[in-house]
Amino acid sequence: MTTLRIGLLGTGPWARRVHAPALAAHPGVELAGVWGRRAEAAAALAQVHGSRPYDSPDELFADCDALAVALPPSVQAPLAVRAAGAGCHLLLDKPVATAVPEARALAAAAERAGVASVVFFTARFGAQEGEWIAAQAAAGGWFTAHADWLGSVFAEDSASPYAHSPWRREKGGLWDVGPHALSVLLPVLGDVEEVTATRGPADAVLLTMRHGSGAASTATLALTAPAAAAGVEITLRGTAGTTCLPRRLDGPEAAYHRAVDALLAAAASGLPNACDLRFGLRVTEILAAAEETLPPLAPSGG
C-alpha cells in the first residue's frame, strides 16, 4: 500500500489547525474526504484542502482505507466502531472515550476487524519528547515523578479556540490533559496499579499513582489555570538523578505527521504501535478509576 486514502471526521478548530493540513500535505496520504456534523463546515474545510465533503460517515468509510477523527470522545467512539467494521484503519484523538465500556467496545471492534490503530498523544509523537521518553524508559531506576499539565482554556482571560468546547467544559482537565500526562508517565514508570484523585480549584484535579515499577507519581491537571501559570512540566527523580521533559520545539502539526507515519507503518506491517487502541483503552481505564475516587462537588449557593 503506497498511498493511504484517509477520510477526516470533524471540522472543529483542532481539525482545521492540525488534522486537515497535515493529512493534505503528507506524501503517503490522500485526504479522501471530510465529514462533519455541520455540512457547511465540512464543505468549507474540504474545499480548502482540495478534497470533497461527504453527506454521511458511512459513505466516507466506503471510500477510505483509514479514518482520522477529530471529534468529542463520546462521538468519536461509536463512529470509530463503525469505521473499523468497514475495514478502516484508525487514527484517533485522545481520550478514545470517557467511558470504559465504550473504549473496550472500540478496542474489541478494531481487533475483530484486524485494523491498525494509532491514538494521537502529542507528546509521544513530538521529536524531542519522544526521544526523551524512550531514553528515560531505557534508563529505569526512577523513584518518583510529578507532572503539571495546566491549560488556561477556561480561564477568565482565555482566548483559546477550545473555550466553547462542551465536552471539555463538562469533563475538565482530568479527561482533556490527563491523557497527555499518562502517555508520558506510563511508558517510563510502568502501568498504574493504584490511583486516587483529589479536587483542586475550579476543574483542577491532583492524581496520586503507584506504578508497576514501584515508583510513585503525582499529576496536577487543569484547564482553568490563569494564563500566566499555564504550562507543562514533568520531572523524574531516580538513581540517575533528576530530568525534565524537554519543552516542545516543534508544533502539533509535526507531531501529527509522525502519527500518520506510525499508522502507515502499522497498516503495512501488521505490527501494533505502542500508542494503539489497547494503550488508549488503558488510559481511559485509569482516568475512570481516578474519577471514581473524586469526592462529590460541593453544592454552590448561599
User: For 21-69, what is each residue's pLDDT tens digit?
Assistant: 999 999 999 999 999 999 999 999 999 999 999 999 999 999 999 999 9
Mean pLDDT over 274-284 rounds to 98
176-222 pLDDT, tens digit per residue, is: 999 999 999 999 999 999 999 999 999 999 999 999 999 999 999 99
Q: What is the pLDDT of residue 296?
A: 83
How does the average pLDDT of the chain come out, rounded?
Answer: 95
Q: What is the mean pLDDT of residues 150-169?
A: 91
> What does the pLDDT average to over 123-145?
96
Total residues belonging to the chain: 302
Cell 471510500 belongs to residue: 63
The residue ranges of DSSP E strands in the chain, in sequence order, are 4-9, 29-35, 66-69, 89-93, 117-120, 142-150, 192-199, 205-211, 216-222, 231-238, 241-244
pLDDT at 297: 76
Alpha helices in 143-241 (DSSP H): 166-176, 178-189
CA gap 183, 279 in Å, rounded: 9
3-state SS class at 67: strand
Q: Is residue 11 very low, low, confident or very high in pLDDT (cuts 50, 70, 90)? A: very high
Give the residue-averaged pLDDT of 267-275: 97
**Residue 35 CB neighbours (<10 A):** 24
Distance of CA 121 to the CA centre of its chain: 4
Average pLDDT for residues 82-96, to the nearest whole number? 98
Confidence of residue 302 (pLDDT cuts 50, 70, 90): very low
The reported pLDDT for the residue numbered 30 is: 97
- C-alpha torsion angle, residues 72, 114, 289, 247 (rounded to 10): -60
Least confident span in 93-102, 148-157, 245-254: 245-254
For residue 274, pLDDT beyond 50: yes
Q: Is residue 177 a contact partner of residue 191, using CB atoms and an 8 Å limit?
A: no
Classify each residue of 283-297 as buried b or exposed e, where b means 16 or more C-beta atoms within 10 Å of its C-beta.
bbbbbbebbeeeeee
Q: Which residues of 158-169 are buried (b: 16+ CB within 10 A; e: fewer)?
A: bebebeebebbe
Helix, strand or coil, per DSSP, at residue 1: coil
Number of H helices and number of E strands within the chain? 12, 11
Q: What is the pTM of this model?
A: 0.95
**For range 234-261, the mean pLDDT:** 93
Read off the pLDDT band of 299 (50, 70, 90).
low
Return the residue matching grid coordinates 497535515.
Answer: 22
Judged by DSSP in three states, 284 sits in: helix
**Confidence class for position 264, pLDDT limits 50, 70, 90:** very high
Please count the other Cβ atoms lying within 10 Å of the Cβ belonging to residue 300.
Answer: 5
pLDDT value at 8 more than 90? yes
Beta-carbon contacts of 108 under 8 Å, excluding residues fewer than 6 positions away, are none
pLDDT exceeding 70 applies to what percent of the chain?
97
pLDDT over 50 (residue 248): yes
pLDDT > 60? residue 300:
no
